[in-house]
């Protein structure tokens, strides 16, 4: 009888020790999981709130207000933000693609150019003035940026700002181009006062 008691006591003690050890290990694991540091947080992209799309290098880029993600059309893998594309900024307002060149316009007035495996960044802000980029268009190797500071001519060969246009038409009115389009060898700009166009090959634009 005493032997049976010792046997039951031994197994009860062993069971108690086993439960205690398991609870201790679980608490350590739980503590390690909730020990969150500032660097552990990453921005989340709302996949339902997409502003615009771009197709580049067999990837579909989806841009949201606070970030972006890409879908690789070869293996259907999804990447987001910096792991998706080597960018400086995360908030972009527009994009344009011509051949092997992708241009992204950011909210802070910079454009990021990706071409043939290289990357260039151009700051379009003027001293004392912050630019708002409305749209972009490309003709040949020239990028035209419509903004609150006028129409900006950027060379995609030299990656520099060549000229800025503020005055349009015969009356040389100072206007703000909201949109620009290249159609049939012509550059069209849309302003609050009307539509103006320039035919390429006629010397200096506008």
pLDDT digits (tens, 9 = 90+) for 97-144: 988 899 999 988 999 999 988 999 999 988 888 899 999 999 999 999
DSSP 8-state class, residue 45: P
Name which of 176, 105, 112, 102 is nearest 146 in CA terms. Answer: 176
Residues 6+ apart with CB under 8 A from 70: 59, 60, 61, 62, 78, 79, 80, 84, 85
Tell me the average pLDDT across 44-73.
82
Residue 136 CB coordination number (10 Å): 22
pTM greater than the 0.75 cutoff: no
Query: How confident is residue 38, by pLDDT bands cut at 50, 70 and 90?
Result: confident
In percent, the amount of the chain with pLDDT more than 90 equals 33
Residue bearing the bigger pLDDT, 173 or 46: 173
Instruction: Measure CA of the first residue to CA of the last residue in the chain; give whole Å.
Output: 109
Residue 160 and residue 151 in contact, taking contact as beta carbons nearer than 8 Å: no
Residue 150: what pLDDT? 92
């Amino acid at each position: 009888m005493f032997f049976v008691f010792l046997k039951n006591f031994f197994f009860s003690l062993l069971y108690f020790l086993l439960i205690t050890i398991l609870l201790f290990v679980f608490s350590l694991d739980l503590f390690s999981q909730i020990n969150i540091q500032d660097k552990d947080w990453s921005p989340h992209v709302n996949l339902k709130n997409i502003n615009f799309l771009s197709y580049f290098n067999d990837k579909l880029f989806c841009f949201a207000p606070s970030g972006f993600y890409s879908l690789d059309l070869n293996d259907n893998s999804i990447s987001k933000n910096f792991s998706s594309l080597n960018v400086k900024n995360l908030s972009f307002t527009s994009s344009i693609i011509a051949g092997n060149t992708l241009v992204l316009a950011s909210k802070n007035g910079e454009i990021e150019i990706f071409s043939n495996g290289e990357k260039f960044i151009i700051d379009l802000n003027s001293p004392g003035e912050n630019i708002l980029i409305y749209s972009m268009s490309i003709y040949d190797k020239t990028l035209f940026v419509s903004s609150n500071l006028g129409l900006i001519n950027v060379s995609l060969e030299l990656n520099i700002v060549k000229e800025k246009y503020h005055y349009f038409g015969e009356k040389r009115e100072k206007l703000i181009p909201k949109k620009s389009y290249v159609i049939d060898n012509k550059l069209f700009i849309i302003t609050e006062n009307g539509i103006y166009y320039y035919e390429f090959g006629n010397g200096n634009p506008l």
